[in-house]
Amino acid sequence: MTLPAPRFVRTPFFRRLAGRKTDRVRLTFDDGPHPAHTPAVLNRLDRYNVRATFFVLGNRVPATADVVRRIHSTGHAVGNHTFTHPQPQWFGFRAAFDELAGCQQAVAEVIGERPTLFRPPLGRWTLPLRWACRRLGLTPMGWTLDSGDWRVRSADDAGQCAAELLAAVRLGDVVLLHDYHPWIGLILDVLLPELSARGLIQPGRVPSA
């Protein structure tokens, strides 16, 4: 298949949404945790001693509690990505609050801490989501470079996805990836060595909001 090129959203607006400036590249993983693929991601990050942010879905947390504990205990950040990943439509204030609060609760029950970062499904904001985010004291975090990894369907696609990311990535980027994806390990196998060789990921550094 032909993959779409990585999408850039490096406008000042998205830069601001992406969070505090970083002097490296920040890796973020959405839609997990997955019982097999997330540990595969963690193994690879461990190998390079690199920390990332995982935006988890609250309804996947109870069945993957050990994985969430491992994310947290190994120094990665656990972020809020809602409870059920609702489609970005104009659902109401109450529903938005329940989605965010449900994820906060699910994570807190497993690691004893509530997330401090929030990323909306598909990165799309609605007024109720903004209100709920603020009300719960969460810091919004977007991305500046979308890997398009969810379209990968083969090892060739994975290599192509990683190569396109490597051609596009710059210092300061916040990269969107998905750990709920069977090919994410192969993508990282190409991505991480090269990012490390270029000095774009800094070993041992814990990401901050």
List, in order, residues 6 or more apart from 43 with CB less than 8 Å away.
none
Catalytic residue selected from 30, 31, 149, 173 = 30
Residues 25, 175: contact at Cβ < 8 Å?
yes
CA angle 124, 127, 129 (to 5 degrees): 65
Residue 46 a catalytic site member: no
Helix axes 127-135, 93-111, angle to 10 degrees: 40
Closest-approach residue to Zn ion (CB): 30
CB-based burial, 43-78: b 16+ in 10 Å, e otherwise: ebbeebebbbbbbbbbebbeebeebbebbbeebbbb
Nearer CB in complex with Zn ion: 31/157:
31
CA angle 2, 150, 26 (to 5 degrees): 110
Q: Which is nearer to Zn ion, 31 or 200 (CB)?
A: 31
The rounded distance, in Å, linking the Cα atoms of 192 and 50 is 9
Least distance to Zn ion from the beta carbon of 172, Å? 22
Minimum CB separation from Zn ion for residue 49, in Å? Answer: 27
Residues that bind Zn ion (CB under 5 A): 30-31, 121
Paired tokens of 92: 């109401």
Nearer to Zn ion, 121 or 128 (CB): 121
Query: Smallest distance from the beta carbon of 160 to Zn ion, in angstroms?
Result: 22
Residue 31 or 99 having the CB closest to Zn ion: 31
Q: Is 178 annotated in the active site? A: yes
Cβ distance 200 to 52 under 8 Å? no
Q: Of 76, 178, 179, 181, which one is the catalytic site residue?
A: 178
Catalytic residue positions, numbered: 30, 178
